[in-house]
Amino acid sequence: MRIVLATRNAGKIAELRRILDFDIVGLEAFPEIGDVKETGLTFAANALLKAHAVAQQSGLPAVADDSGLCVDALNGMPGIFSARWSGRHGDDQANLDLLLAQISDVPAEHRGGAFVCAAALALPDGQERVVEGVLRGTVISEPRGSGGFGYDPVFVPEGSERTTAELTAAEKDAISHRGLAFRALVPVVREVLT
């Protein structure tokens, strides 16, 4: 069974291929499908918006994810706005710099947070499923590490002394919010599609 993953990010496609033994194709196979506006108010809503749009336009089952960093002292923000927190979508450095400046006075014991990922499956007939993965941790004030992307250099998962930017890809996959969500989606996809 062929499934479209609603992303042009090669890393995400490879990750989903590693854990789901279906024929995964990315959006690059569907150049006619444009970007979907993420107007939802939750990760799950945005993941479903994207999955439905791609399922409708491709005529194939579609998987999409939406994820971000939820900082306790910011009431769970940047959350769904993580990738555009500074107002400039995808500017990782500006987003990270802004977050650190905002919580610069927040003491270490109140710098908890979580990476959250919603992974959604939508079928051309309108069926949908959505699951979430959560990785709790702490936001540190000095970035460390060069792996990953986004807020990885300032996020230390619970039980770790390294930031998610200091983990190998395999170590990160094993505990990450996206790994958790994609793995939780596997039995759901199998049940719906077979």
Residue 191: CB atoms within 10 A of its CB come to: 9
One residue of 25, 60, 98, 188 binding its own copies per CB under 8 A: 98
163 is in an annotated binding site: no
| Alpha helices (H) in the chain, listed in sequence order | 10-19, 43-58, 92-102, 169-175, 177-193
| CA atoms within 13 A of residue 71's CA, in its CB half-sphere | 26
Does the active-site annotation cover 66? yes
Among residues 31, 32, 101, 126, the one that binds its own copies under rule CB under 8 A:
101
Asked if 39 interacts with its own copies (CB under 8 A), we say: yes
What is the footprint of its own copies within residues 55-84 (CB under 8 A)? 73-77, 79, 81, 84
Q: Which residue has the tokens 């996020």?
A: 155
Q: Are strands 155-157 and 112-122 parallel, antiparallel or unpaired?
A: unpaired
**Near its own copies by CB under 8 A, which window of 21-29, 57-65, 104-112, 123-131?**
104-112
What CA–CA distance (Å, rounded) separates 69 from 80? 8
Which residues are known catalytic residues?
Answer: 66
Q: By the criterion CB under 8 A, which residues form the site for its own copies?
A: 37-39, 41, 73-77, 79, 81, 84-88, 97-98, 101-107, 110
